[in-house]
């Protein structure tokens, strides 16, 4: 099972990715969580000690040079487009409470024809994790899934788009669906988060009539406190945990 969580910034992607990882791990699955956000916060959400000291793969200059032949940020004329990556997960994931985590870091934007070696390594690594490994993989993504490459994105079994009751996150959801459709990724589910009223729920259902909603999570003080590291995920409001368990139960389990 390979799951990507995306949506506009601040909607609750990291909250959902961390809870799904925890719930699936506790149900006996081997979970590999991937932080694909350029501003990584998944380690903190998962309660990793010294989360801020984890070096993202994109900043591992020696590794990138060893595997691609060029250093990060260098637009070297030649570097390997298919670097060896199959030994990287075991060497570079960090583990806490049985959950393995890899922090990808910032991809260089491809603008003026620059395609950097760290992009080549990250794309190859994410493709390897999605295509060749049999753990449950949960990716916390910045926005869509396409920036890790088309072939990679296709390997995602389920794309979960998180929205909150506001126009911005709804517009982002439409854009994500369009980009996902362009690369043949049709299986999209929506989780509505930060719901404070029946009106919030109705607003989202009316704004996104042809989307499949798989959960409505209330706005909840305990989620904020977990996000601040004041309480562990296990201290969350049981209603929220139950709702995410229901979402987890509906995911494909192959």
Ligand X SMILES: Nc1ncnc2c1ncn2[C@@H]1O[C@H](COP(=O)(O)OP(=O)(O)O)[C@@H](O)[C@H]1O
- Both tokens of residue 146? 């396409």
* Closest to Mg ion by CB, 37 or 123: 37
Q: Work out whether 22 is an interface residue with Mg ion (CB under 5 A).
A: no
What is the smallest separation between the CB atom of 164 and ligand X, expressed in angstroms?
A: 8
Burial class (CB in 10 A: 0-12, 13-18, 19+), 104: buried
Q: Work out whether 93 is an interface residue with ligand X (CB under 6 A).
A: no
Residue list 30-89, contact with ligand X (CB under 6 A): 41
| Options 194, 200, 204, 245; binder of ligand X; rule CB under 6 A | 194
| Options 12, 40, 89, 117; binder of ligand X; rule CB under 6 A | 12
User: How far is residue 108's CA from residue 210's CA, in Å, rounded to a whole number?
Assistant: 34
User: Radius of gyration (Cα) for the chain, nearest Å?
Assistant: 18
* Closest to ligand X by CB, 61 or 227: 227
Q: Which of 158, 190, 156, 152 is nearest to 173 (CA)?
A: 190
Residue list 225-254, contact with ligand X (CB under 6 A): 227
What is the smallest separation between the CB atom of 146 and ligand X, expressed in angstroms?
A: 18
Whole-number Cα distances in Å, 45 to 19, 36, 68, 187, 232: 9, 14, 32, 26, 9
Residues that bind ligand X (CB under 6 A): 7, 9-15, 41, 193-194, 217, 219-220, 223-224, 227
């Amino acid at each position: 099972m390979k799951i990507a969580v995306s949506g506009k910034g601040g909607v609750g992607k990291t909250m959902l990715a961390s809870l799904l990882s925890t719930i699936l791990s506790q149900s006996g699955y081997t979970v590999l969580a991937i932080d694909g956000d350029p501003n990584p916060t998944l380690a903190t959400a998962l309660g990793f000690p010294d989360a801020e000291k984890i070096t993202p793969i994109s900043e591992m200059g020696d590794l990138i040079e060893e595997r691609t032949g060029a250093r990060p940020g260098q637009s070297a004329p030649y570097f390997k487009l298919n670097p060896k990556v199959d030994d990287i997960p075991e060497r570079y994931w960090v583990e806490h409470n049985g959950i393995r985590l890899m922090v990808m870091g910032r991809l260089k934007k491809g603008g003026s024809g620059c395609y950097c070696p760290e992009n080549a390594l990250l794309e190859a690594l994410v493709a390897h994790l999605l295509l060749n490994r049999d753990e449950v993989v949960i990716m916390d993504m910045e926005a869509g899934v396409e920036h890790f490459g088309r072939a990679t994105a296709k390997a995602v079994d389920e794309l979960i788009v998180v929205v909150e009751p506001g126009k911005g996150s709804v517009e982002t959801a439409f854009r994500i669906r369009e980009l996902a459709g362009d690369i043949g990724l049709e299986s999209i589910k929506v989780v509505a988060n930060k719901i404070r009223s029946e009106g919030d729920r109705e607003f989202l259902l009316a704004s996104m009539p042809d989307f499949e909603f798989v959960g409505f999570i209330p706005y909840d003080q305990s989620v904020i406190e977990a996000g601040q590291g004041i309480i562990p995920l296990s201290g969350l409001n049981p209603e929220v945990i139950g709702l995410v368990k229901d979402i987890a139960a509906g995911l494909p389990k192959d």
